[in-house]
Amino acid sequence: MHAVTVTSSGGPEVMSWAEVADLPFPGPGEVAIDVVASAVNRADLLQRQGFYPPPPGTSPVLGLECSGLVAAVGDGVTAWQVGDEVCALLSGGGYATRVNVPATQVLAAPAGVSLVEAAGLPEVAATVHSTVFGLAGLSDGEVFLVHGGASGIGTFAIQAVRALRPSVTIVTTAGSSAKLARVRELGADLAISYRDDDFVARVKEATDGRGADVILDNMGGSYLARNVDALAVEGRIVVIGLQGGRKGELNLGTLLAKRGGVHAVSLRGRPDAQKAAIVAAVREQFWPAVEAGTIRPVVDRVVPIERVADAHRHVEDLGHVGKVLLVVNLDYSESLK
């Protein structure tokens, strides 16, 4: 089999597509997937740079999601059969021709979505469900602020909230006029330039001073104080990224007065049982909307796996809207029209 290998921590040039040892037959409760495509997530960039090691016992190969065909099933697996078209949430290993994954983290490739496009769904769907709908419990009539609205998670979150909580006011930040226009098309009620505007002032103005009930934040430290200022009474901040640094100043007096909460969560290191529950909820609550076309994969570009370095550079440059996908099986490279 082949996989992307990383020779040392560093820039995109440390990655190469090379022959590696074959994986063992899937163990009990696992399936093997012949990978058709994977996707670039910011966690992949951090792992390549040496800042985000994989959890103990998981594949060191990059790639937190994939799509493909079931190649083999381990003992006790009855939900999947060889040849099924699927996509999966992974702890690693997606940048390869084959990956083994717990069967409970596998989803049927949704109808109406190409098998290549399906590779960009599991990570964002699981992240959005577990944070916005699970931990934060976004309710009808509330105000939702998502930073980085043009990202893979942002584009999915806007569509998912619009589909499942249509009375929610959706506010988002983005960095260019083109991205601002795109997030409006996806369903954002208010799109704020983080380069030119004060998002705290704009959120308060748009909500008559109330603020946002739920804030999904990919920035971390640099946004912490401002997120608290923008928060409504009994609001919830969920931090899922640290693009703006690991440390920030927190005014506990402001947070206390608002009876607010700040949560920092990640998906990759969760126990398999938690991931199974999240994937089951995604299947039940998101997949019907995806198959109906209410939620669509937003794909910036599709890159052959051999050009993985170019794909990483593009994500690092923040030039993308939605997901950057990596095609592993070139027989499917024309599936996007």
Identify whether residues 328 and 258 lie together within a single domain: no
Do residues 229 and 200 touch, judged by C-beta distance below 8 A?
yes
Whether 160 and 230 share a structural domain? yes
Query: Does 294 have pLDDT greater than 60?
Result: yes
pLDDT at 337: 41
Q: Each residue of 308-336: pLDDT tens digit?
A: 999 999 999 988 999 999 999 988 876 54
Rounded mean pLDDT of 13-37?
Answer: 98
Average pLDDT, the chain: 96
Percent pLDDT > 90 in the chain is 94
Quote the pLDDT of residue 334: 64
Same domain, 105 and 132: no
Contact status, residue 164 vs residue 134, Cβ threshold 8 Å: no
Q: For residue 115, which amino acid is it?
A: L
Same domain, 38 and 23: yes
Domain-embedded: residue 166: yes
Collapsing DSSP to helix, strand or coil, 55 comes out as: coil
**Does a structural domain hold residue 337?**
no
Q: Say yes or no: 105 and 82 in one domain.
A: yes
Domain final position from 211, 244, 264 = 264
Q: Please, what's the b/e burial string for 290-299 (b: 16 or more CB within 10 A of its CB; e: otherwise)?
A: beeeebbbbb
- H or E, element range at 161: helix 152-164
How many helices and strands, by DSSP H and E, does the chain display? 11, 15
Domain match, 154 and 236 both:
yes
Which CATH number do you get for residue 111? 3.90.180.10
Q: Are residues 291 and 214 in the same domain?
A: no
Q: Where residue 195 sits, what CATH number does that domain have?
A: 3.40.50.720
Residue 116 lies in a domain: yes
Q: Are residues 34 and 114 in the same domain?
A: yes
- Domains: count for the chain: 2
Identify whether 51 is part of a domain: yes
Q: Alpha-carbon distance 83 to 108, whole Å?
A: 11
**pLDDT tens profile 199-255:** 999 999 999 999 999 999 999 989 999 999 999 999 999 999 988 889 999 999 999
Which domain range does residue 49 map to?
Answer: 2-121+271-332
